[in-house]
Amino acid sequence: MTSTQDLTSTTTAFDLAAYLIDRQPKVEAALDAAIRPAYPDTIYAAMRYSLLAGGKRLRPILCLASCELIGGDPDLAMPMACALEMIHTMSLIHDDLPAMDNDDYRRGKLTNHKVYGEDIAILAGDGLLAYAFEYIATHTHGVSADRVLKAIANLARAVGADGLVGGQVVDLESEGQPDISVETLTYIHNHKTGALLKSCVVCGAILAGATESEIEKLAKFAHNIGLAFQIIDDILDITATQAELGKTAGKDAQAQKATYPKLWGLEESKRQADKLVAEAKTILSEFGDRALPLQALADYITDRKN
Shortest distance, position 28 Cβ to ligand GRG, whole Å: 12
Distance CA 306, CA 303 (A): 9
Distance CA 72, CA 141 (A): 13
Q: Which residues contact 131 (CB under 8 A, 6 or more apart)?
A: 35, 47, 86
The residue from 23, 48, 56, 109 that contacts ligand GRG (CB under 6 A) is 56
Nearest to ligand GRG of 58, 152 (CB atom): 58
Is residue 188 within the footprint of ligand GRG (CB under 6 A)? Answer: no
The residue from 69, 128, 136, 164 that contacts ligand GRG (CB under 6 A) is 164
The residue from 91, 111, 154, 302 that contacts ligand GRG (CB under 6 A) is 91
CA distances from 31 to 3, 28, 42, 269 (A): 15, 5, 18, 34
Q: Which of 287, 194, 150, 204 is nearest to 23 (CA)?
A: 204
Q: Which of the stretches 14-22, 108-116, 158-166, 220-228 binds ligand GRG when contact is defined by CB under 6 A?
A: 158-166
Q: Are 81 and 31 in contact (CB under 8 A)?
A: no
Nearest to ligand GRG of 156, 278 (CB atom): 156
Distance CA 167, CA 185 (A): 9
Q: Which of the stretches 84-92, 180-188, 208-216, 275-283 binds ligand GRG when contact is defined by CB under 6 A?
A: 84-92
Rg (CA), the chain: 18
The residue from 112, 168, 190, 259 that contacts ligand GRG (CB under 6 A) is 168
Distance CA 154, CA 146 (A): 12
Shortest distance, position 114 Cβ to ligand GRG, whole Å: 16
Is residue 159 within the footprint of ligand GRG (CB under 6 A)? Answer: yes
Shortest distance, position 89 Cβ to ligand GRG, whole Å: 8
From residue 245 to residue 284, what is the string marking binding to ligand GRG with x (rule CB under 6 A)? ----------------------------------------
From residue 121 to residue 150, what is the string marking binding to ligand GRG with x (rule CB under 6 A)? --------x---------------------
Is residue 107 within the footprint of ligand GRG (CB under 6 A)? Answer: yes
Nearest to ligand GRG of 121, 148 (CB atom): 121
Q: Which of the stretches 31-39, 52-60, 174-182, 286-294 binds ligand GRG when contact is defined by CB under 6 A?
A: 52-60
Exposure class string for 192-202: b at 16+ Cβ within 10 A, else e: bbbbbbbbbbb
DSSP 150-190: HHHHHHHHHHSTTTHHHHHHHHHHHTT-TT--HHHHHHHHI
Is residue 2 within the footprint of ligand GRG (CB under 6 A)? Answer: yes
Q: What is the 3-state secondary structure (H, E, C) of 202-223?
A: HHHHHHCCCCHHHHHHHHHHHH
Q: Are 276 and 224 in contact (CB under 8 A)?
A: yes
Is residue 294 within the footprint of ligand GRG (CB under 6 A)? Answer: no
